[in-house]
Amino acid sequence: MNEMSSPVPAPTGKAEATLPWWRGAAIYQIYPRSFMDSNGDGIGDLPGITARLDHVAALGVDAIWISPFFTSPMRDFGYDVADYCDVDPIFGTLADFDALVAKAHALGLKVLIDQVYAHTSDDHAWFAESRGSRNNPKADWYVWADAKPDGSPPSNWQSVFGGPAWTWDARRRQYYMHNFLTSQPQLNLHSPDVQDALLGVARFWLDRGVDGFRIDALNFTMHDPQLRDNPPAPPSDKPRTRPFDFQLKRYNQSHPDIPQFIRRIRSLLDEYGATFTVAEVGGDEADTEMKAFTAGETHLNSAYGFDFLYAERLTPGLVCAALAGWPDEPGVGWPSWAFENHDAPRALSRWWAGEHQAPAARLKIALLCALRGNIILFQGEELGLTQVDIPFDMLQDPEAIANWPLTLSRDGVRTPLPWEAAAHAGGFSSGDPWLPLGAENIGRAVDLQEHDAQSLLAHTRAMLALRAAHPALHHGGAACRAEGALLSITRTTPEEIVECRFNLSSESLELPEAVAGTVLASVNGAQGRHLPPFGALVVRR
């Protein structure tokens, strides 16, 4: 295998003690269904996560983010919560969760968990009560509305997964709103009682020792109470595969009162000290909303959007534009970045093919570690996993089934993690896994890379160690320049300057001049002025 990177120099000192732990943190996302199965039912679980946390800690990350493990009918695999304060039996018990937190903390890892505030499952007790009548104590906990005179839905809003965002309920003889599946009714966060209940959920998990939250679909948490129709979207070159794509989502999401609820969340978190919360924010106005959700010291700590998650190509211009949106200025929030997650196809498969994937994987990890902000690695990214092609008859994801074949391909990125190449199901489970692992990915199993100094796993550990060791890379300022296929990022603190050069093409590049200083990392054989295909240099001036 080609050389990954030069040896990492001795650390120059981690982040200053005055900085909060999360500023510049590397976070590892765990998708519980696919991380490790401890009981042979083919589905990953909390004891499985606990058993494999040493692997995560050895990467050198600061925290784990665990996707939903709450009680759920699993129509959207945990993002349809039926009980916010319990563990679904397929994942284990509350005692299992407590053991996971204890092990993570013993290994020096912070624990973040998902909070889904926009909607619940229609199996939730709150919804059962709400739909029972129009005058019960929880009657207004969800978004209900009468039909139009002709019986049609109250507005033209469309759901993300296809079809109207309204479903008729014969019990109340009204429509209820759902931005996603029909089985995910929208909570009415304009209600102080609903906000109080959700803050109570957050307190429940904080009291169990979690160190913060990733808040799902935060800009979907409030709607326009007047139920005004969304305007049509202007013409676009982007393909429209869902009715949702034909509208500007002006009224079914992104309500201006959302930051008021965020301030309540922040106030609660401040009671618990050094906790951290990052918001997921997508959509047409994501940049503006992320700034509003993270402004100053009374809102959330960070937010991430979809700059890279659905990008078809990785270009220097894309990177510089993303970084430019988060200048190091007073009052501007702190960004988080991810190239992959449970909702987006594997970046290696989106951006490169064939022989380019192996060197590009090394470049991609080096680039992620050079970005200003927090960085989020999705499980398997450290192994170079690629997207698995799941045949229609094996699909599990409701979005993929509804929109086949023009799907987000979420099943293909959610395939189980391969731990042992020669074991059944790649060592993920003693039973039949809920999704196939893919033969190509089994060939990238942890045990094949664990003791290989030239593996992507070793390279990932080296780059994360480099980021942690150098304040400029960890939390310093950033200047970005795009020149053709050449990406230049300069990271600075008062103590040091680190120059990063990336060749994002499959052709060799010659730098105008060599970067003077101590070479901290050389990726894919880069040296002096020469950047081979997908080559990178990280130099401390």
Task: For residues 482 and 380, give the distance between their C-alpha atoms in angstroms, rounded to a whole number.
Answer: 29
Where is 114: in which H helix or E strand? strand 110-116
What CA–CA distance (Å, rounded) separates 359 from 176? 50
> Rounded distance, CA 428 to CA 145, Å?
46
216 tagged catalytic: yes
| Among candidate residues 182, 196, 167, 161, the one with its CA nearest the CA of residue 80 | 182
- Residue 312 is among the residues annotated as catalytic for this protein: no
Distance CA 375, CA 4 (A): 20
Q: Which of 150, 207, 237, 271 is flagged as catalytic?
A: 271
What residues form DSSP beta bridges with 253? none
Catalytic residue among 216, 280, 399, 411: 216
Residue 534: closest CA among 307, 361, 372, 384: 361
DSSP state of 115: E
**Distance (Å, whole) CA 428 – CA 484:** 42
Residues 6+ apart with CB under 8 A from 474: 14, 15, 24, 467, 468
Nearest-CA neighbor of 270 among 214, 206, 195?
206
DSSP 119-185: B--TTSHHHHHHTT-SSSTTTTSB-EEPPPTTS--SS--B-TTSSBSEEEETTTTEEEE-SS-TTSP
Q: Which two tokens stand for residue 477?
A: 């300022």
- By DSSP bridging, strand 477-483 and strand 486-492 are antiparallel
Pairing of strands 144-145, 174-177: antiparallel
* Whole-number Å distance between alpha carbons of 495 and 517: 14
Q: Rounded CA gap, 493 and 496, in Å?
A: 5
Residue 421 neighbours by CB distance under 10 Å: 16
Residue with tokens 């005055």: 18
Contacts of 14 (CB under 8 A, 6+ apart): 468, 469, 471, 474
Question: What residues are labeled active site?
Answer: 216, 271
